[in-house]
Structure 1
């Protein structure tokens, strides 16, 4: 399932343009994916929280709009060389992703509300495969997670009663691909014991 995308939705705020510049400086170093994701996460974290008066200098009002049918993807920036993209995901209460993994390294930071993530491990006995739940993570505003394939199988949901917004940075051109999802998993899932 690919969320509806709004490529280059509206304009970048001054604060988002500064974040894009910081991300570019990290990505241009050409480091391994895991380290790139970690360092991009360090740059993203200070930009996530809104001002004490509740104003949002990171996103425009149009970039904060959700969709009543499913979570909405606003592609804010795609680097000309395809090396990274910045996306705002807007989640109304109860909305969630399918269980999936990614095409590239990824950093996700909660900007507003709270998201929860269920992480999985793929287990195979040679004849069949199944998913095993390995961890549940609650992500309030300001939380950042960084990861790189393989081993990035998860499901993300809005776990609060209001709109949740997260900023995602992917090591791929999401405006061209349409999504950061590599594969959706429709396998049995067990809880790890």
Structure 2
């Protein structure tokens, strides 16, 4: 049997690409529909719209967690391009943005040794680990010294899901301490145009003996 001609090979590659794009589009639509349901779950009867801070609604938090769990189960959600990292720092890719500006969905790609700054959030935020294992450092805000102090660290393997509200009661740093690339999926309570600039509330680290455990991470933070 003769080998397929070049046009047939190109057609097959094009068909495969189109199938992948269709799967991605459907996966994004399913995730957005699940997030919309989370907002609907915390509507107050008789009052239009959603609360200014939906993260205070337990049903909303459960809905975002469920939406992220559903997203992790669909390998077509994050495209090849949205899995590309950067040698300079962890890289963000916008996956979807709510047309009403209520949320943005992004993939974050972490090369070995890359970390976020120590930060709280200006808005609610949920994340899930898609591939690899991240280390999450947790901190407590010290009002007197106006800084964050290390509390403990947790390993977040693929499948881990977390959700938190805005404010300095939830301060953390994510760090890829492994030898492999890690990918995480994030949902932020901002518009698509603000997900890279209006989410993190960067906070300083207070000087204390306990902070020595975080020194290696702090040194390479971006």
Q: TM-score, with normalisation over the residues of structure 2?
A: 0.72
Question: 1:176 & 1:109 partners in 2: Cα distance?
Answer: 20
Question: 2:129 & 2:150 partners in 1: Cα distance?
Answer: 22
Q: Which has the higher helix share?
A: 2
Give the unaligned 5+ runs of structure 2. Answer: 1-20, 44-53, 212-222
Q: Is the 8 A contact 2:98 2:192 kept in 1?
A: no
Residue by residue, what CA displacement relative to the aligned partner does 1:98-127 show, whole Å, maximum 9, x if unpaired? 1011121111100000111111111123xx
Count, aligned residues? 176
Q: Which has the higher strand share?
A: 1
Give the unaligned 5+ runs of structure 1. Answer: 1-9, 51-55
Q: TM-score, with normalisation over the residues of structure 1?
A: 0.81
Q: 1:177 Cα shift?
A: 5.1
Of 10, 33, 47 in structure 1, the residue corresponding to residue 55 of structure 2 is 33
How well do the aligned residues superpose, as a CA RMSD in angstroms? 2.2
- CA 1:119–1:79: 2 relative to 1, 3 Å: same
Q: 1:146 Cα shift?
A: 0.7
Question: 1:175 & 1:124 partners in 2: Cα distance?
Answer: 32
Residue by residue, what CA displacement relative to the aligned partner does 1:58-96 show, whole Å, maximum 9, x if unpaired? 211111111110000001111111111111001111110
Larger Rg: 2
What pairs with 1:35-184 in structure 2 (closer than 5 Å)? 35=58, 36-49=60-73, 56-125=75-144, 128-150=145-167, 151-176=169-194, 178-184=196-202
Structure with higher RCO (Cα < 8 A, 6+ apart): 1
Residue by residue, what CA displacement relative to the aligned partner does 1:10-51 show, whole Å, maximum 9, x if unpaired? 99442232112111111233453142233201221133157x
The list of structure 1 runs, each at least 4 consecutive aligned residues, that deviate by more than 4 angstroms after superposition, is none
Question: 1:156 & 1:15 partners in 2: Cα distance?
Answer: 26
